[in-house]
Structure 1
């Protein structure tokens, strides 16, 4: 093999390696914790028969733990924020080499199973995760089945 042929072969191999790992988007059908806890129904809300929900956004660390929980919406305000954050902080996801940002979880509080706030009526929305392999970064987006 001539010097020129060896050089061209090396350039082609190097270019192939450089382009072999573009951003890869991984999709999971559902992104769910393997360890999940229910939020405690606040005594004051139960005493006054108040139903509602609280939606939180958070990140999942490489270790599988929940980080940076933020309240997106709670209705009515002032009842369900604390128990939702406390329950969410105990969730555990499968550890991975990726950090997942923007995961959303909703907690529903109702004494009646047929209430508009019953979590049984709000199933079917899940987090779809997209990862950029080159930077080990993932983001979750809510999706319907």
Structure 2
């Protein structure tokens, strides 16, 4: 990263509702409806002002695409988001399990190689490199 540039956190809430609405070409009331439906959850200031992040803006843009271009209603979008979260969790669990299996297999290979080396040393010979 070059000097003077700060990494941008896409989850950092920065846009008030009027700016967020302008960015997504929607009325502020539309954003409130999305919030009421549980589709977006903007941060709140201590004085209860909604603040939207870049991630919220991306999500709202996607909601608008699904409703306007694909004809999906808000209940359908909520279901899609729930499925996305479940699948995301399952994918993370699968990746974790795969990593655990790989670490276990690597540990087993390492212990087998060490045992072979110890046996060979005890017998006064070198382990066969082709017989792992």
TM-score bucket of the superposed structures, by smaller chain:
under 0.3
Greater percentage in strand: 1
More helix by share: 2
Normalised by the length of structure 2, the TM-score is 0.23
